[in-house]
Amino acid sequence: MLKNIMKSNKEKMIVDLDKDKLPKHIAIIMDGNGRWAKKRNLPRIAGHRAGVEALRGVIKTSSDIGIKYLTLYAFSTENWKRPAEEVKGLMELLVLYLRKEIGELHNNNVKINIIGDISKLPSKAISEIDKAVNLTSNNKGLNVNIALNYGGKSDIIHAVKGICENVLDNNLQIEDICEDTFSKYLYTRGIPDPDLLIRTSGEQRISNFLLWQIAYSELWFTKVYWPDFTSEHLIEAIHDFKHRKRRFGGLK
């Protein structure tokens, strides 16, 4: 009975969405897996596994309602500081997730993109990532951008190095460098900046995520831990977004 009521509420919230005011690009800092597990006296990896289950519903709902881009902060450049056993478990979970889910994602026309320097990931993870990216490369539905070994600061440094190389090779003139030019050297080149940034778990900081790209993103924070984040929470954030006045520095 409760499940039917929740389904009914979700359906109503979706119907009430103004499709013309949907964010084109949603970015999510999926935070709180460890604390979710600790609260239940479970190992941290159990929280990460539960987080994968939450991810499935968010991707499906995003696809169903017509979101074009969904960027997920999966593993940051700072996450290497975590215990080796946890990092190993996260990488194994990534491999298992891609092997298990990529077929259905492909059938649903989802395109997988990766942002970040994946060269430092285990070879098995790189192999599965390559398979997923290649398999879905021609899909035209939801673009799921997975941030792996990603950091906003390293993204900017990576872009600066790329620009410097092209200037030194006389392929780019210094006077031609502008914001649009700079954006083309970021990991997110070709992807519009996020309209909405969501962070779970109650923390209210950016944590080195998409520092350049979120200059004018709307921010939405929730105390809900990521494993408990549902499609209803996503739609709630979108409903809140549509009431925001986005002036981009102007007065309109």
Q: Is 205 annotated as a binding residue?
A: yes
- Specify whether the CB–CB gap between 195 and 248 falls below 8 A: no
Contact 198, 222 (CB under 8 A): yes
The answer to whether the CB of 129 falls within 8 A of the CB of 118 is yes
36 among annotated binding-site residues: yes
Kindly state the greatest CA–CA separation across the chain.
67
Beta-bridged to residue 199, according to DSSP, are 29, 221
Beta bridge partners of 27: 71, 197
Ligand-binding annotation for 76, yes or no, is yes
Has 119 been labeled as part of a binding site? no
49 is in an annotated binding site: no
Known active-site residue 113? no
Token pair of 166, please? 């092209």
226 marked as binding residue: no
Identify the active-site residue in 18, 31, 108, 134.
Answer: 31
- Phi then psi for residue 248, to 5 deg, are 50, 40
* Residue 48 known to bind ligand: yes
Q: Judge whether 193 counts as a catalytic residue.
A: no
Rounded to whole angstroms, the Cα distance separating 11 from 22 reads 16
232's tokens: 């209803």
Q: Is 244 annotated as a binding residue?
A: no
**246 annotated ligand-binding residue:** no
Q: Which residue has the tokens 């902060």?
A: 73
> Does 188 count as an annotated binding residue?
no
33 is in an annotated binding site: yes
Ligand-binding site membership of 220 (annotated): no
Are 228 and 54 within 8 A, CB to CB? yes
CB 193 within 8 A of CB 213: yes
41, 79, 170, 208: the active-site residue: 79
Strand 218-221: give its sheet, edge to edge.
111-115, 143-150, 69-76, 25-29, 196-199, 218-221
Q: Is 190 annotated as a binding residue?
A: no
Would you please indicate which residues are annotated as catalytic (active-site) residues? 31, 79
Binding residues for Mg(2+): 31, 218
Binding residues for substrate: 32-36, 44, 48, 76-78, 80, 82, 199, 205-207
Binding residues: 31-36, 44, 48, 76-78, 80, 82, 199, 205-207, 218
